Chains A and B, each alone.
Chain A
């Protein structure tokens, strides 16, 4: 059974795992649980990267995998948890569309991603699977961002989009390490900015619901 298709199956499973976790992110409505799922998402990414590194025998991908594990799966979730505790916003987040609708829509997005990437199947089926999963993760991340009104949840959506992009780039066969390092640094810097931003809007409005920003702009809808 562990024949020729094993590397393929493994990559498939890990990337598919990321899509599954994206769905979890989509319906989860408690902040702390959302952060845990983000960590899980990054862990799946790190595993996928490590598997690709092993398969392509590319050492720099191991570094990328380690980076994903340390920065995205451990440091960032820890930071976010600290933020949530610090701001005392461990309460539920409200989704705009119903969870059922969002899930159905997400399934449609996955199907769309698979269809869009169909031409890649002529090059290699592996690339097709990888790219369609990656695109699905990106699209689901964006969907999370627009269905949530809580700034923290939106940031988590953005981070999952970043995970999807990383998956796509690696699946194409290797990515220069320097880019991955740069992106990781950028993410850490972004976290600092987010923290300041959250702190400010929380101080001012006593909430991290971006709806209050609309109200502040005088555009109550």
Chain B
């Protein structure tokens, strides 16, 4: 009954979208709609949890066929372990975002451009993970893309949002085209559209290689794998904040779902080179993503670049799992896949949390630029706390959830020397180093973001006056904070819940965690690698309280008055504080001067001249210059050539067609 019920709920979302469109301008419409979305997402979350638990007990994946779509074919749905897990990921974040929007939705100045598309966006994402045939998958994928595109251009009066929408549209089209190619290849050129039929007849090796290439491009363009990430930092921040949270937190995960579904489920047995390729892409993505993020001082764009980084981390786990599986190391594959899927959940939690906090900051101050914020911790203490927890989680600090999944990924990397291929022996430790580097740089980046936005003194009047947002929005953030802490302290529950998923995909699962003493997380064997979030949290809490107690007890209570440290400048303007850009400067000088050709130009006035000195910083994105500009130039040139052909005479047109026909016949004659 769970699958039909889930589909009823999804259709409720679509119905709500149709109903809300004519009344979107009313004040109650936003509350009613987001309330409904909250209810539906929570129910879907329960269905996902229930199904996953049932499947842990050995239940069969329910199937459903509906006479929709292509006549005679219908649409197939299936709720297996992987779908159930992603249903949980999607709807946990979606409920939090809906709850957030119940309060913050009334600040929206163009509700008629947001409300009708929000439930459709949710419905599309849910349908993608439930679809069990090519048509259903691609259709839902397009629904998701198009609905999110409308949300990206909701505030279309700002020119950068229009540009973001344009780039996003192109990349979304590329993504769907490549998925169309993938499924065209997998389905035997349309012979059997049902996923079950594709599973029954795995493609030949050459076809599988081509399909893998297409699916990596198709889902990578949606998830944000470097170099296909360019649309992501433009589009995600352009949408309203709760939608940004969903796009970054879960739409990229739906893309990862597509990648996992095809590579682990439909493609048949993998080769180790597939794993190596995805691993390399993941490593590059993780390191470049975080370096990009370090250069940003727009809060939401910074978060979007961190999504790129985290997608890289997930891809590292998936690549390792493929490499292990190709070599028949089922335990290693299960470990790496668990790490990847755990990180999927974690990233959906803390990225949504961070975007919601950024949304609260944006609502309160109207600013996204870190250099125009500052001191927000005084006006918005709860938001600051939530952002801090999210930052610690994304920086992989124990005892929060981000640490657990990266720890699992590193455990998988540590057993990789058992792999026989020498390329992997070299590549995997390199990627592991990249993973550690990206975690460290992420920490640096969030020290910068938190410090510039919440600490110090307010740099603008708006930041000075900021107050907390609505209670429902704060509640949404606090729920996500609780989820981050729970997943970090009790990781065994998540790992056990993932057991049916990894068994489904790689035929093995991690040791049962609930039976381990003291809720310890065991990756392979207790002697070799184990982690206990609970003990660590107790230790941190104890030592922190002890030191606080000690400081307060032992330190002198006498109040001292002294001038604040002013960095050597006796100037009191808040603009002289350490800025986000100054914080990133050392790292920028080390990494970005080569990668992004970052150049600093100092323009000092001549002695005696009273004008201000200028520091100009230029950063060039190599991906735009090296990959996209040539493509754009080629497309423009081709378009010019084709448009000149439009002015040919009728007979010349006929001649062109005739020439093509003869050419094709010649090819045909020579081919055979």
Please list the residues of chain A having a beta carbon within 8 angstroms of any beta carbon in chain B: 96, 109, 112-113, 115-116, 118-119, 139, 142-143, 145-146, 149, 210, 213-214, 217, 219, 221
Contacts and interface: CB of A to CB of B under 8 A. Distances in A.
B649 interface: yes
B602 interface: no
A213 B648 CA distance: 12
A205 to B, nearest CB: 14
B666 A112 contact: yes
B658 interface: yes
A146 B651 contact: yes
Interface in B98-147: none
Interface in B629-666: 647-652, 654-655, 658, 661-662, 665-666
B669 interface: yes
Interface string B516-527: 000000000000
Kindly name the residue among B647, B654, B661, B669 whose own CB sees the greatest number of chain A CB atoms within 10 A.
B669
B647 A116 contact: no
Kindly name the residue among B648, B665, B666 whose own CB sees the greatest number of chain A CB atoms within 10 A.
B665
A20 B655 CA distance: 23
Contact of A214 (B650, B658, B662, B665): B650
B668 A116 contact: yes
Contacts of B515: none
Contacts of B669: 112, 115-116, 118
Contact of A213 (B650, B654, B655, B668): B650
A142 to B, nearest CB: 5
B662 A112 contact: yes
Contacts of A143: 658
B556 interface: no
Nearest to B654: A146
Given A146-B654, A149-B651, 18 more contacts: A109-B662, A112-B669, A113-B665, A116-B668, A118-B669, A118-B672, A139-B661, A139-B665, A142-B661, A145-B654, A146-B651, A146-B655, A146-B658, A213-B650, A214-B649, A214-B650, A217-B649, A219-B649
30 contacts: A96-B651, A109-B662, A112-B662, A112-B669, A113-B665, A116-B665, A116-B668, A116-B669, A118-B669, A118-B672, A119-B672, A139-B661, A139-B662, A139-B665, A142-B654, A142-B661, A143-B658, A146-B654, A146-B655, A146-B658, A149-B651, A210-B650, A210-B651, A214-B649, A214-B650, A214-B651, A217-B649, A219-B647, A219-B648, A219-B649
B654 A221 contact: no
Contacts of B651: 96, 146, 149, 210, 214
Interface string B423-461: 000000000000000000000000000000000000000
Contacts, number: 39
Interface of B: 647-652, 654-655, 658, 661-662, 665-666, 668-669, 672
A65 B513 CA distance: 83
A217 B649 CA distance: 9
Contacts of B654: 142, 145-146
Contacts of A139: 661-662, 665
A109 B658 CA distance: 12
Nearest to A220: B649
Contacts of B655: 146
Contacts of A115: 669
List 8 A-B pairs, minimum CB-CB distance, nearest first: A115-B669, A214-B649, A116-B669, A146-B654, A146-B655, A116-B665, A116-B668, A142-B658
Contacts of A118: 669, 672
Contacts of A96: 651
Kindly name the residue among B647, B651, B652, B661 whose own CB sees the greatest number of chain A CB atoms within 10 A.
B651
A146 B653 CA distance: 9
A214 B648 CA distance: 9
Contacts of A142: 654, 658, 661
A75 B672 CA distance: 42
Nearest to B651: A146
Nearest to B653: A146
A170 B493 CA distance: 72
A221 B649 contact: yes
A128 to B, nearest CB: 13
B130 to A, nearest CB: 45
B253 to A, nearest CB: 50
A150 to B, nearest CB: 11
Kindly name the residue among B650, B652, B654, B666 whose own CB sees the greatest number of chain A CB atoms within 10 A.
B650
Contacts of B672: 118-119
A213 B418 CA distance: 76
Nearest to A112: B665
B663 to A, nearest CB: 11
A218 to B, nearest CB: 9
Contacts of B661: 139, 142
A96 B654 CA distance: 14
Contacts of A109: 662
A115 to B, nearest CB: 4
A115 B662 CA distance: 12
A84 B79 CA distance: 72
Nearest to A213: B650
A3 B207 CA distance: 52
Contacts of A146: 651, 654-655, 658
